[in-house]
Copies of this chain bind each other. A is one copy, B any other.
Amino acid sequence: MFFVIMAGGTGTRFWPESREKLPKQFLNITGSRTMLEETLARIGPILDDRSHAIVAVNCAHEQLTRELTSGTGCRVLTEPVGRNTAACIGLAAMHIRLIDADQPILVLPSDHFIARPGEFAAVLRAAGEAARDQAIVTIGATPTRPESGYGYIELGESVDAVAGSPAFKVRRFVEKPDVETASRFLASGNYLWNCGMFGFTARTILSEIKSCKPELFAGLERISAAIGTPRYQAVLDETYPTLESVSIDYAVMEKTRIPLLVFPGDFGWSDVGSWQAVYELGYGSQDEVGNQVTGQALPLDAKNNLIRSTTGRLVALLGVEGLAIVDTPDALLVTRLDRSQDVKKFPGLLKSGNRDDLV
């Protein structure tokens, strides 16, 4: 079984901790290790051959990724530019095809949080087994609230369980709904959160890319022809930027005629999309009034705040509530937690203010 860990994101939602040179997957936002390391640790128990774990990153982060993964035996696959998940998965599949086109590949984001890794591993194992039989599989997380920030998967008919894990046909993918619709989804019990995790063989996914996105496939084939030759990097650098930038969901999942299976899992998933999400996950030391602290803080009549200081400085709070305070050596963020989805605006504002040094 192969794993493709997609670590090409250039997240801006965790500014000022996240920067262009250090996106979210390289931060220890939800644990003592970086999110990428946590992701790799999570698949460890079901990884037979460590070289079968492939981390796909932007070339700007190659060195950092090699340092973080040194000693793990996993491979690093670089993208010259970000071209969304279809191109990334296609490129990885081209490489894997040369090793074994019929082994299952599980594609996972590198920057998600999983509360119960044991349950997660069991679902992954089952999904991988199902992918071996030319199916396209996806993993859906049991929703726990009417979240309007996630996409949903509507369950179709039940199929035979795989390795003890129940599975369903996918009826449809639903884009982020409004809260009312999300509440209906939650109440029905017939919808799962789309975690952006997929399984298939190289043969299956490349055949689907070929039929759904022939031009994308043609570009990937040109790159594939250069794999293992001295021309590879040049061809990659020349061709990859010309590939269509489209998500695997849109390019394949929502169009394919191959039956899609979904494996539900109640493993405490979060895509950790904002500082508020970090607060809700409750990582870091928490006092009895809901202040969650990484670093040193001195709260006085202050509650339900997220304090993260990587500078060693003391953060004193007086009378404040529901804030995120993120302290880094060259920039400090003070935001209302319930506004933290807008933190991603700061890098753009800084660029237009000629403060690229802080982006």
Contacts and interface: CB of A to CB of B under 8 A. Distances in A.
A223 B16 CA distance: 58
Nearest to A316: B333
Q: Which of A300, A301, A316, A338: most chain B CB closer than 10 A?
A: A316
Contact of A332 (B315, B335, B343, B346): B315
A334 B346 contact: no
Interface stretch (A23-31, A89-97, A98-106, A322-330): A322-330
Interface stretch (A111-119, A200-208, A349-357): A349-357
A353 to B, nearest CB: 7
B300 A319 contact: no
A320 B334 contact: yes
A330 B314 contact: yes
B319 A332 contact: no
Given A15-B316, A315-B334, 20 more contacts: A298-B346, A298-B349, A298-B350, A298-B353, A300-B345, A301-B339, A301-B342, A309-B332, A313-B329, A314-B355, A315-B331, A316-B331, A316-B333, A318-B336, A318-B343, A318-B346, A319-B339, A323-B334, A325-B332, A325-B334
A126 interface: no
22 contacts: A16-B316, A298-B346, A298-B349, A300-B342, A301-B342, A313-B331, A313-B332, A314-B330, A314-B332, A314-B355, A316-B332, A316-B333, A316-B335, A316-B346, A317-B333, A317-B334, A318-B346, A319-B339, A323-B334, A325-B332, A325-B334, A332-B332
A332 to B, nearest CB: 5
A212 to B, nearest CB: 40
A340 interface: yes
A332 B336 contact: no
B314 A334 contact: no
A320 B332 CA distance: 14
Instruction: Determine the main DSSP class of A at the interface with B.
Output: mixed
A329 B311 CA distance: 9
A326 B189 CA distance: 49
B339 A332 contact: no
Q: Which of A332, A336, A350, A355: most chain B CB closer than 10 A?
A: A332
A358 interface: yes
A318 B332 contact: no
